[in-house]
Structure 1
Amino acid sequence: MHFTDFDVDLFLRDYWQKKPLLIRNPWAAWVNPLEPDELAGLACEEGVESRLIGQGDGRWMVEHGPLPEDRFGAMGRSPWTLLVQAVDMHVPAVAALVAPFRFIPNWRIDDVMVSYATDGGGVGAHYDQYDVFLIQGLGRRRWQVGGRCDADTPLMLHEDLRLLADFQSEAEWVLEPGDILYVPPGVAHKGVAVGDNCMTYSIGFRAPSRSELVEQFCAHVVGGMEDDDRYADPDLTIQANPGEIGAAALARLQAMVGDALSDRAAFARWFGEYSSERKYPELDFRPEEPIAVEDVRELVEEGVALCRNPASRFAFVAAGEDAVTLFVDGESHDCSGDVAVLARQICAADSVLIDPVLMEADEAMALVVTLYNEGSVSFLTED
C-alpha cells in the first residue's frame, strides 16, 4: 500500500511535532488489512500483548490478555474496546502499513497497535509522549483534539489508564476508512467509535527520554569499567581549609565522569544496539533448520527476495566512506565494502533482491547466514 496524495516535505516542515493534521484518504486504494475476528484471535494468544477496556456505571475497566475466546460475547451492549499491541509482528499485511511512513527513520518506529471498538467505545481522553498516526481501518470514529499537556496536567486516578481529568476539545473530525489523523507528542486527544465494527491502526514512534538515555548509557559504561580506575591527585598541595572541596579536585572529578561518557563512537555503538533490541525479545523466531551457505547462494541466484522479519529492528551508523556498523536485534555487525552496500540495502527496504555479485564476498554471505539463523530475515519463496 502506498500514498498517492501526500506532501512529505510539507508535512515535516509544518506539522511534524508541531500540530495535528487530518489526512483524508491518501491511499492509492485503501484495503483494511485485518478482520475483527482475526484481531480477537490474536488477543487470545499467549505472547501477544492485549487489553480489553470496558465502560459502565461511570467506571473504566481494564482486563489484560490473553483473553478467553468467549470473553467478547459476554461483553453485552456496553461500549468496549480491544487493543492489541505490535500486530505488525504477527500479520504481514499490517506490517505493510508502515512502509509509507518510512520518511521517519526506522529506529524511531515502535509498532502498530490495532483497536476494535463497539459503538461509543474508546479509551478516554489522554495524551501520548510520542508521535502517532491513527489510520481508520473499518467503520467510523470521531476524534477530538485539545491542547498541549505535560507532567503537570491533572490526570484521573486509575491503575491502568492515564486519562485526563479535564479535556477541552479544540477541533473535531469523523474519520472514514482510509483517513489518517496525525497527533504530535503531548497533544490531548479522544476517539469514540461511531457505530460498531470500528477498527483503528495506530502507528506509534519511540522517543527516548533524557533520563532513560543517561541511565542506560551510564549503566553500559559502568559495566565495562575496572575498579582500580580511581581518582588520583599526585600534585596535591596544602590548602587553607581542609573542609573545602577545591576547584582543582572538582574539575578532575567531573572530567573523570565526562571523559567516560564523551566517547562518540562508543555511544553510537551502544545506542545502535540498545535501540535495535526487539520489542519482545522473549519471542524466538529462529528457523527450525539453520541455513547453509550453499542454500543462500542458490536462493540469491534464483532471484528470491530477502525479507526482514517485521519483529526485528534494523539500523546502521556510517563508519567511514565505505563502511557502516549494522545493528540488528541488539547486535552490531561491522561492515565494509560490498558488505556495507548489502547492509544499507537491507535497512532501506522490507525486502530486497540481492545482487549475486555481492554474495561472492565471504563476509556478505556470512552476514546473511547469521541474520537468517537468528530469525531476523527470511527468503520469500512462493510456497
Structure 2
Amino acid sequence: MYTLNIDTQAFIKQHWQQKPLIIKQAFVDFEDPIAADELAGLACEEEISSRVVVTKGDDWDVVQGPFEDYDQFGEDNWQLLVQAVNHWYPASQPLVEAFRFLPDWRFDDLMVSFATPGGGVGPHIDNYDVFIIQGEGERRWKVGDKGQHKRRGGNENSPLVDDFEPIIDVVLQKGDVLYIPPGYPHCGETVTLAMSYSIGFRAPSQQELLTELADSLIDNNLGNKRFTSTDEPEAPGIISQTHQQGIMDLLVQLAQDPQAYQTMLGKLLSQNRFELDVCEDEEPLSNEDLIDAIEQGAIIQRIGGLKVLCLEQDSQSRLFINGDEYPLAQASEAVLQLFANNVSIMPEQARELVEQPALLELLTQLVNQGLYYLAEDEY
C-alpha cells in the first residue's frame, strides 16, 4: 500500500487549485508499481492510449502508439507516456487509492511515463490538476507563475508555451511529489533514466456541461419552458437588457432544478475518457452462482478506473456507473454509499447485500457486464 505523507485537509485549504507545491518524500520508501518493460508492453496494445515524445532541440515530435519496439528512438531524448495504466494494470490501483481524499468524480487517470536522459514534453499548461510522483531516477521540473503566456509558434490551440521564468525549479527524487494546479506552466526534463506517475483530476467545462444538459433535456423531453414578458421595448429592432436577462434566466432556472440536471451530472461525471478493461466472461453468472461464490469467500472487485457515484440529496435512489444510471428504488443511503465508496465489496458485506433481491440482481448484472469481477484478494 501507498501512504501519502501529508496533511490532506491542510493541503486542500492551502494549495488545492490555488498554488503549486513540492512535497519531498511524500511517499517514504516508494516502490514503483510497474516496471519499465511492463509499461513498454502495455504500449504495444492497440486499445491502450500511448505516445512517445522525442526532444529535438527546442522542438518536440509526438509519435502515437501502439509500438512494436523502441530501438528507433535511441538511448536519450525521448519519453514514453501511457494513459490510464490503472485501467489495465491492477497493481497500480493502490497508488491511485492514496489520492482518494479527493472525490472520485474529479479523478481522470493514472498516466505513467518512462523517460531517457533529456526526455520531456516541453513547456506547457494543463487545464487540470496533476500530482507528479517520482519513481526510479531523477527528473528536473520547472513551474512558472500564472499569467499571460504566449503559445509556442503562435498556435492558440497548442498546450505548448514559450519559455517562462520559474517560481519552482527542483530535481525530483524517488518518492517526491510535485502538485500543479490548472493554469501554471511547467516543464520536465529527465536527468537519469526515470519512471514518473501523473495522477490527474479534471472537472467539466461550461461547453461540456451545456452540451450534456441539452442532450439530456432532449432525451427526456424536458426544458420546454419559453420566455414570457409583460413589457416590450419601444424600438422594434432592440433586444432590451430586461429581455436578454429574462431569456438567460431560463438557463439559471434549469441549473437550480435538480430534476433537470441531476441525471445529466451523474452520467457525465461517472464517464471515463479512456477505454476500460471490461472483463466479461463467456458464460454469464446466475444469481445462484454469485451467491455460491460469495459463500466461498469471493471478493466482488471493481475493474480499474470504473467510477461508481451517487448524488447527495438525489431526487431518486440510484447509482451512476460508467455513464449509465442504475435505479435502486428500495436501497438505503448506506447501501448506495457502500457501492460508491468501496472499490472492493468484501464477502461479509456481499452476504448482506444479496439478501435483498434487487441488490442481488444488480451485483449479478455488474459482474456479467464485466464492470466487476470475482477476486480472491484485493488488487
Scaled by the length of structure 1, the TM-score of the pair is 0.87
Question: 2:233 touches 2:239 (CA, 8 Å); kept in 1?
Answer: no
User: Per the alignment, do residues 166 and 336 of structure 1 end up closer, same or farther by CA in structure 2, a change over 3 Å counting?
Assistant: same
Question: 2: distance between equivalents of 1:296 and 1:376?
Answer: 15
Question: 2: distance between equivalents of 1:208 and 1:347?
Answer: 20
Question: 1:339 touches 1:364 (CA, 8 Å); kept in 2?
Answer: no
* Structure 2 residue aligned with 1:362: 357
* Structure 1 residue aligned with 2:124: 126
Query: Partner amino acid for 2:169?
Result: E
Question: 2: distance between equivalents of 1:111 and 1:55?
Answer: 25
Question: 2: distance between equivalents of 1:282 and 1:231?
Answer: 41
Query: Partner amino acid for 1:26?
Result: A
Question: 1: distance between equivalents of 2:233 and 2:100?
Answer: 60
Aligned residues: 374
Question: 2:277 touches 2:303 (CA, 8 Å); kept in 1?
Answer: no
* Structure 1 residue aligned with 2:179: 182
Question: 1:144 touches 1:172 (CA, 8 Å); kept in 2?
Answer: yes
User: Per the alignment, do residues 37 and 269 of structure 1 end up closer, same or farther by CA in structure 2, a change over 3 Å counting?
Assistant: same
Matched, 1:212 2:208: yes
Question: 1:339 touches 1:363 (CA, 8 Å); kept in 2?
Answer: no
Matched, 1:341 2:339: no
Question: 1:55 touches 1:61 (CA, 8 Å); kept in 2?
Answer: yes
User: Per the alignment, do residues 252 and 74 of structure 1 end up closer, same or farther by CA in structure 2, a change over 3 Å counting?
Assistant: closer
Matched, 1:14 2:3: no
Query: Partner amino acid for 2:376?
Result: T
Scaled by the length of structure 2, the TM-score of the pair is 0.88
Question: 1: distance between equivalents of 2:114 and 2:240?
Answer: 63
Question: 2:4 touches 2:98 (CA, 8 Å); kept in 1?
Answer: no
Matched, 1:329 2:322: yes
Q: Deviations over 1:123-157 (max 9, x none)?
A: 111121111110111111111111114xx521113
Deviation at 1:342, TM superposition (A): 3.1
Deviation at 1:4, TM superposition (A): 6.1
Deviation at 1:328, TM superposition (A): 0.4
SS at match of 1:38: helix
SS at match of 1:220: helix
Question: 2: distance between equivalents of 1:252 and 1:142?
Answer: 53
Question: 2: distance between equivalents of 1:159 and 1:241?
Answer: 40
User: Per the alignment, do residues 126 and 241 of structure 1 end up closer, same or farther by CA in structure 2, a change over 3 Å counting?
Assistant: closer
Question: 1:309 touches 1:377 (CA, 8 Å); kept in 2?
Answer: yes
Deviation at 1:286, TM superposition (A): 2.7
Matched, 1:3 2:10: no
Query: Partner amino acid for 1:218?
Result: A
Q: What's the Cα RMSD here?
A: 3.0
From 287, 291, 294, give the equivalent of 2:281: 287
Query: Partner amino acid for 1:304?
Result: A
Question: 1: distance between equivalents of 2:258 and 2:225?
Answer: 22
Query: Partner amino acid for 1:341?
Result: A
* Structure 1 residue aligned with 2:111: 113
Question: 2: distance between equivalents of 1:237 and 1:101?
Answer: 54
Q: Matches of residues 1-383 of structure 1 in structure 2 within 5 Å?
A: 1-3=1-3, 5-27=5-27, 29-67=29-67, 69-70=68-69, 72-149=70-147, 152-157=148-153, 162-196=159-193, 198-225=194-221, 253=247, 258-260=252-254, 262-280=256-274, 284-319=278-313, 324-335=317-328, 338=331, 340-353=333-346, 354-381=349-376
User: Per the alignment, do residues 129 and 58 of structure 1 end up closer, same or farther by CA in structure 2, a change over 3 Å counting?
Assistant: closer
SS at match of 1:346: helix
Deviates more, 1:295-304 or 1:95-104: 295-304
Query: Partner amino acid for 2:353?
Result: L
Question: 2: distance between equivalents of 1:81 and 1:199?
Answer: 10
Unaligned stretches of 5+ in structure 1? none
Unaligned stretches of 5+ in structure 2? none
Question: 1: distance between equivalents of 2:372 and 2:105?
Answer: 17
Question: 1: distance between equivalents of 2:43 and 2:156?
Answer: 21
